[in-house]
Amino acid sequence: MSMIGNFLAISPDRLADLIKEPALIESLLYPEDGPDPEKHLDIDKSWHAIHYVLNGSTWEGEGPLALAVLGGEEIGEDIGYGPARYLDTDQVKAVAASLSFISAQEFSAKFNLAALDAAEIYPQGWNDTGSEALEYVMHHYSLLSSFYRAAAERGDAMLTYLN
């Protein structure tokens, strides 16, 4: 089974409801009719590589960039690979602003296949994939950056989760 990085933009009122009643999270994350494509982003298996490139650390980081993929406050029960996490609207705006300062060129300059393998970044074996790995991660980084920017412009909060 794969670990897929997901992001769901939600209104601040919806976040407040979920904080009061975390049992509602699972039905929100997995609706019968599927997620709203404008409010949901799937970055596939690139999540850990993006976090590592942004933070230079396997799991930790500082400031808004540490929040972009693995940050936020846990909420609810384990939904597969731990509980979902949330970022409030101010955190979403801070992440969006921080991501806007990292160009595709800067991101790709920090991307190092050997370093990803040495740090055991999921899914291991990056060095075997060559230039395709950079294209794959860059594509998802671009989507993530745009997603945060749109969420910040709408004044949304964010749920992040692995499934």
Residue 57 pLDDT > 70, yes or no?
yes
**Taking residues 132-151, what's their average pLDDT?**
97
- Domain tally, the chain: 1
pLDDT at 127: 83
At residue 83, the pLDDT reads 97
CA dist., res. 62 & res. 45, Å (int) = 22
pTM metric for this prediction: 0.96
Question: Where residue 124 sits, what CATH number does that domain have?
Answer: 3.40.1760.10
Query: Average pLDDT, stretch 77-105?
Result: 96
What mean pLDDT, rounded, does the chain reach?
Answer: 96
pLDDT in the model for residue 80:
87
Helix (H, G, I), strand (E, B) or coil at 41: strand
A 10 A CB-CB count for 126 gives: 26
Over residues 22-48, the pLDDT tens digits come to 999 999 999 999 889 999 999 999 999
Q: 118 lies in which domain range? A: 5-28+38-162
Residue 49 lies in a domain: yes
Q: What is the mean pLDDT of residues 105-130?
A: 93
In a domain, 141, yes or no: yes
Closest CA to 30 of 97, 69, 84, 73: 84
The answer to the question of residue 143 being in a domain is: yes
SS3 10: strand
Residue 33 within any structural domain of the chain: no
What are 129's two structure tokens? Answer: 């994939």
pLDDT band, very low/low/confident/very high, at 1 (cuts 50, 70, 90)? low
